[in-house]
Structure formats: C-alpha cells, structure tokens
C-alpha cells in the first residue's frame, strides 16, 4: 500500500461518525444563529429598560433641572449624572459631566464608565439642553453574565447533539453495518448463488443497498460461472483440437521420414507428396475452422446488425455453384426478410451447409429456402439430393470434430459445429430432418428480431 492509499485510509471515517458530525454541525449552525438572536435580544432589552428608567427619572428631574443637579451634587453617586447647558454658555453639572450630545438616547463612556444618556430640551427655556444619564456598568455585567450563559448553553447543545447523533446514528446505520458484516462473512465458494436477506428494518437506503449488493453478487456469480464454463470448454476444446491435429501431423512426419530415408521412384514420390498435400490441407482447414469458432465465441450482442437474409442466401447459392460446378442450387426465399444478426456468421452457416452437401453428401442439387413463420421466427432450410445422414447421427454431427459415417475423408469435423454455433449465437437452433429432394434437410430456426416472438423456442432439440 503506497503513501497515498494510506493517507486516504487514514482520512476515512465510519458512517456513524459522519452522522454524529453532521448532527453536531447542524446543531452548531442552528445554535449559533439562535445564540446571536438571544444575545442581541438581551442587549436590546437591557437598553430598553435603561431608557425606561431614564424617562421615569426625567419626569421629575426636568421640572427643575438645576435644582436636580444640586441635589445630585450633594449626594454624589456615579450611578446617575446630569448636565444642564444654557443658551448663554453657563452650565450646571454633577461630578460626572456628560458630553455634548444631540437630543435622544445615546450610550457614552465617561472616565471609563458607560452611561445611557437622555438628552432633551423639552419643556425647557429657549437654548437650554439637559442631559441625564444612568450608569450601565451593572447592566453590562448582567449582560456579560447572560451572554456567557447563552454561549455555555450553546456549547452544551452542540455536545448533546453530537452525542445523540452518535447514539441514534448507530441505530440508524445498524442495518448497513449488519449488511457489511454479512458480505464480509460470505464465502464465494459455499454461498455462491445465495442472496443476502433484504432486511433493512424499515430503512429504505439499507434495503436498496441490499438489493444492489444482491444484484452485483448475482452478476459476479453469473460471470464466475460463465468464466468457469468457458475455461472448461477451452480445456476440452484444446484437448480435442490437439488430438485431431495430431493425426495429420503424425502422417506428415511419417511421409517426410519416408522421403528422407528411402530411395523412391517418381511414382512413389508423387504419391507421398500428394498425401502430404492432403494432410496439409486438412491441418489448414482445421485451423481455419478453429479460428472461425473462436471468433464466434467472442461475439456479443453489440455485433448484431440489420441483415438481409434473402440477399445473404442468394449470394451463398451463387458462390456454392461457382466453387462446386456439379452442384445446382435453387432458391425459394421470401422477400424483405430482414432481421438483426451477424451477417458473416449467417453466411458462414449457409456456406458450410451447402459445402457439406456437395463435399460429403455428393449432392448435385440443393434447395435453399427462407421464410418467416407465423410464430415470429425466421426459418432457413437447405435440402439436397445427397447421401444424407443416418437418423442416429443427426444430433452428433453438430458436435465438434465428429464425422459422420458417410462423410468423405479429409474433413475437419467442424463444418456443422460452426452451423450449430451460429444458430446458438442468434438465439436459435439447428437440426436435421428428412429432405424433399431425397437427401437430408438442414434447418436453422432463428428468432426474428424485427418481430415479437409468440411461442418460446425449445433449444434442446437438434
């Protein structure tokens, strides 16, 4: 594990911790706003009370403000101050002289003490301004104490929110923790295919997570099974391929040893060279067929495109008559027969069917038919007048490397296997039936991707 992964691992936190942190953060935001509003309200309330006290005191002191200054001067007390300023510049004031202020309520600081001051000229001679103030020191101490109480309460609320978030968060995430433990305890070799119980205890996210995990595990199990099946098929395929290639290669080695060690005449050398050529052709055809089989195994649904079956059958028939001049091919194909499929694969299937009729069945006449049946399938059939295939071998000839008892020598045994593979890749099937021309009929039944299928296709029949 590199440094970056270790750092990422150190920064990861449990879902329960994240829930508690989220609860604490939310509480912090809410408590901060409420605390600010509360502190502001307390300060405004204290100022309002001070202003009320000033109004009550001013109703008496403003009757004779000069006498009031004298009385306050006799009993000096910093809790109240008063200053009277006349129009001629004369002034009367307590020991605490208030500054010149506009009319109204103001908060000022005098000699280090804070005062709430009411300045007015109401009911006074012209030019006289009276300022009356009360000390706010005690009020500020009360406000500070109230502010500390609010802040401590806010801290306690945040801590309580984090604790409750941790407590209830643990209960909330318990289904997810339980699901995680089930996944950790799951043994892929023993529990494969066994879904996890979808029990979220009423928690929608946990139930959806369990369903998603089950879907993922199902895909993994299916992929694992497909991989195992593909590996087993590859092993068998490789073993059978090696066995089938060993025979012509052994024959070629024997022929080469004969050519190297024996003194042969021209006729014998010609015969040995012909045998080498036949073996070489057999190896080449086998390898070519193996390549096509492997290419077919690697195709997917994305490779399917719109395919004109009628045009494909017509081209296959003309090419077969060109390669096998003794074979005459007739067509009975429905027009506008278009479906989604693998054009190369379908063409390979029809080509191999016609090649099998001409090369192994020794047919001189073939009939290629293609039509859409009422159940929503496309049926392609190839009839011939060749030697045919015994009923007991009609299923086995679709297996790889199987050669029928009437097949000619030199074949790879993969031609009909390719036909069966293409039928399977298209979601259909291939089978043999009695033919109309005296030989055998090869039938390909393929789902019509351009039309809905009304009846299920039994893929077990060949």
The reply to whether 239 falls in a domain is yes
The reply to whether 342 falls in a domain is yes
Which is more confident, 104 or 201? 104
CA dihedral 189, 191, 193, 196 (to 10 degrees): -150
Q: What is the pLDDT of residue 330?
A: 92
Q: Taking the CB of residue 113, how many other CB atoms lie within 10 A of it?
A: 16
The reply to whether 30 falls in a domain is yes
Which is more confident, 27 or 453? 27
Q: What is the pLDDT of residue 367?
A: 93
Q: Please give the average per-residue pLDDT across 422-436, as a whole number.
A: 84
User: End of a domain among 297, 330, 360?
Assistant: 297
104 and 135 inside one domain:
yes
Q: Please state, rounded to an integer, the average pLDDT across all residues of the chain.
A: 77
Q: Please give the average per-residue pLDDT across 408-431, as a whole number.
A: 74
The reply to whether 401 falls in a domain is yes
The CATH number covering residue 285 comes to: 1.10.287
The reply to whether 388 falls in a domain is yes
Q: What is the pLDDT of residue 83?
A: 85
307 and 440 inside one domain:
yes
Q: What is the pLDDT of residue 288?
A: 65
Name the domain count of the chain.
Answer: 3
The reply to whether 176 falls in a domain is no
221 and 319 inside one domain:
no
- Across 8-17, 177-186, 236-245, 448-457, least confident range: 448-457
Q: What is the pLDDT of residue 368?
A: 92
Map tokens 């984090």 to a residue.
162
The reply to whether 3 falls in a domain is no
What are the tens digits of pLDDT across the range 110-148? 888 888 888 888 888 888 888 888 888 888 888 888 888
Which residue in 113, 120, 121, 71 sits closest to 96, CA to CA?
A: 113
Distance CA 407, CA 393 (A): 11
Q: What is the pLDDT of residue 413?
A: 62
Tokens at residue 199, please?
């029990």
Which is more confident, 172 or 162? 162
User: End of a domain among 297, 313, 336?
Assistant: 297
278 and 206 inside one domain:
yes
Structural domain of residue 28, as residue ranges?
A: 15-169
Which is more confident, 306 or 295? 306
The CATH number covering residue 329 comes to: 3.30.565.10
CB within 8 Å of 446: residues ≥ 6 apart: 339, 341, 377, 378, 379, 380, 423, 426, 427, 428
- Across 13-22, 152-161, 281-290, least confident range: 281-290
Identify the helix (H) or strand (E) that includes residue 219.
Answer: helix 204-261
Q: What is the pLDDT of residue 446?
A: 87
* Predicted confidence (pLDDT) at residue 380 exceeds the cutoff of 70: yes
| Residue 454 binned pLDDT confidence (cut-offs 50, 70, 90) | very low
293 and 303 inside one domain:
no
361 and 421 inside one domain:
yes
The CATH number covering residue 51 comes to: 3.30.450
CB within 8 Å of 1: residues ≥ 6 apart: 9
CB within 8 Å of 151: residues ≥ 6 apart: 35
* Predicted confidence (pLDDT) at residue 296 exceeds the cutoff of 60: no
Best mean pLDDT range from 57-71, 76-90, 287-301, 373-387: 373-387
* Predicted confidence (pLDDT) at residue 163 exceeds the cutoff of 70: yes
What are the tens digits of pLDDT across the range 177-200? 776 776 666 665 555 556 656 554
Q: What is the pLDDT of residue 32?
A: 86
Q: What is the pLDDT of residue 460?
A: 40
222 and 137 inside one domain:
no
Q: 3-state class of 89 per DSSP?
A: coil
Q: Please give the average per-residue pLDDT across 166-180, as a whole number.
A: 71
R_g of the chain, CA atoms, integer Å: 51
Q: 3-state class of 154 per DSSP?
A: helix
Q: Please give the average per-residue pLDDT across 85-98, as a whole number.
A: 82
Q: Is the pTM of this model over 0.75?
A: no
Which is more confident, 153 or 177? 153
Distance CA 332, CA 380 (A): 10
| Residue 250 binned pLDDT confidence (cut-offs 50, 70, 90) | confident
Q: Taking the CB of residue 53, how many other CB atoms lie within 10 A of it?
A: 15
Distance CA 419, CA 93 (A): 120
Q: What is the DSSP letter of 387?
A: -
Tokens at residue 432, please?
């043999």
User: End of a domain among 241, 274, 297?
Assistant: 297
27 and 133 inside one domain:
yes
What are the tens digits of pLDDT across the range 365-374? 999 999 988 8
273 and 307 inside one domain:
no
Contact 351, 458 (CB under 8 A): no
Distance CA 101, CA 96 (A): 15
Tokens at residue 451, please?
């039309």
* Predicted confidence (pLDDT) at residue 165 exceeds the cutoff of 70: yes
173-182: long-range contacts at Cβ-Cβ below 8 A with a sequence spacing of 24 or more?
173/15, 173/16, 173/19, 174/201, 175/199, 175/200, 175/201, 175/203, 175/206, 175/207, 176/15, 176/203, 176/205, 176/206, 176/209, 177/15, 179/206, 179/209, 179/210, 179/213
156 and 28 inside one domain:
yes
Which is more confident, 60 or 362? 362
Q: 3-state class of 445 per DSSP?
A: strand
Exposure string for 404-443, b = 16+ CB within 10 A, e = fewer: beebeeebbbbbbbbbbbbbebbbbbbbbeebebebbbbb
Which is more confident, 163 or 329? 329
Tokens at residue 43, please?
């300060």
Q: What is the DSSP letter of 91?
A: E
Identify the helix (H) or strand (E) that includes residue 50.
Answer: helix 15-61
Contact 108, 156 (CB under 8 A): no
From its phi and psi, is residue 221 left (phi > 0), alpha (psi between -120 and 50) or beta? alpha
Q: What is the pLDDT of residue 461?
A: 44
126 and 112 inside one domain:
yes
Distance CA 89, CA 99 (A): 14
By CB atoms closer than 10 A (0-12, 13-18, 19+), residue 228 is exposed
279 and 331 inside one domain:
no
Q: What is the pLDDT of residue 452?
A: 47
CB within 8 Å of 131: residues ≥ 6 apart: 82, 83, 84, 85, 98, 99, 101, 117, 118, 119
Q: What is the pLDDT of residue 456?
A: 46
Q: What is the pLDDT of residue 462?
A: 41
The reply to whether 215 falls in a domain is yes
């Amino acid at each position: 594990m590199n440094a970056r992964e270790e750092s990422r691992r150190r920064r990861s936190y449990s879902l329960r911790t994240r829930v508690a942190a989220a609860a604490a953060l939310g509480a912090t935001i809410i408590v901060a706003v409420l605390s600010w509003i509360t502190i502001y309200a307390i300060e405004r309330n204290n100022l309002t009370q001070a202003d009320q006290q000033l109004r009550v005191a001013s109703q008496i002191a403003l009757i004779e403000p000069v006498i009031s200054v004298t009385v306050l001067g006799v009993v000096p007390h910093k809790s109240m101050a008063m200053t009277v300023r006349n129009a001629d510049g004369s002034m009367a004031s307590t020991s605490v002289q208030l500054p010149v202020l506009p009319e109204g309520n103001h908060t000022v600081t005098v000699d280090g003490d804070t005062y709430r001051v009411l300045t007015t000229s109401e009911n006074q001679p012209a030019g006289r301004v009276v300022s009356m103030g009360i000390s706010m020191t005690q009020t500020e101490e009360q406000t500070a104490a109230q502010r500390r109480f609010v802040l401590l309460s806010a801290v306690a609320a945040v801590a309580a929110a984090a604790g409750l978030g941790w407590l209830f968060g643990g209960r909330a995430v318990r289904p997810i923790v339980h699901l995680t433990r089930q996944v950790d305890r799951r043994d892929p070799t023993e529990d494969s295919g066994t879904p996890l119980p979808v029990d979220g205890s009423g928690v929608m996210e946990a139930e959806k997570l369990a369903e998603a995990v089950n879907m993922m595990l199902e895909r993994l199990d299916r992929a694992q099974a497909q991989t195992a099946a593909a590996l087993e098929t590859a092993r068998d395929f490789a073993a059978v391929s090696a066995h089938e290639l060993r025979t012509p290669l052994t024959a070629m080695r024997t022929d080469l040893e004969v050519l190297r060690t024996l003194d042969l005449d021209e006729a014998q050398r010609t015969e040995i060279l012909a045998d080498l050529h036949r073996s070489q052709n057999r190896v080449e055809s086998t390898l070519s067929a193996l390549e096509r089989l492997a290419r077919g195994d690697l195709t997917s649904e994305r490779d399917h495109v719109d395919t004109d079956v009628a045009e494909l059958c017509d081209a296959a028939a003309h090419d077969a008559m060109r390669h096998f001049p003794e074979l005459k091919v007739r067509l009975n194909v429905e027009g506008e027969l278009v479906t989604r499929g693998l054009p190369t694969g379908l063409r390979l299937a029809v080509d191999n069917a016609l090649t099998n009729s001409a090369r192994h069945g020794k047919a001189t006449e073939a009939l290629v038919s293609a039509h859409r049946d009422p159940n929503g399938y496309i049926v392609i059939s190839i009839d011939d007048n060749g030697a045919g295939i015994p009923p007991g071998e009609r299923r086995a000839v679709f297996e790889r490397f199987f050669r029928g008892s009437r097949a000619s020598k030199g074949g790879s045994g993969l031609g009909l296997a390719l036909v069966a593979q293409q039928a399977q890749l298209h979601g259909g099937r291939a089978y043999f039936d009695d033919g109309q021309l005296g030989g055998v009929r090869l039938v390909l039944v393929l789902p019509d991707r351009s039309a809905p299928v009304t009846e299920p296709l039994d893929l077990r029949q060949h």
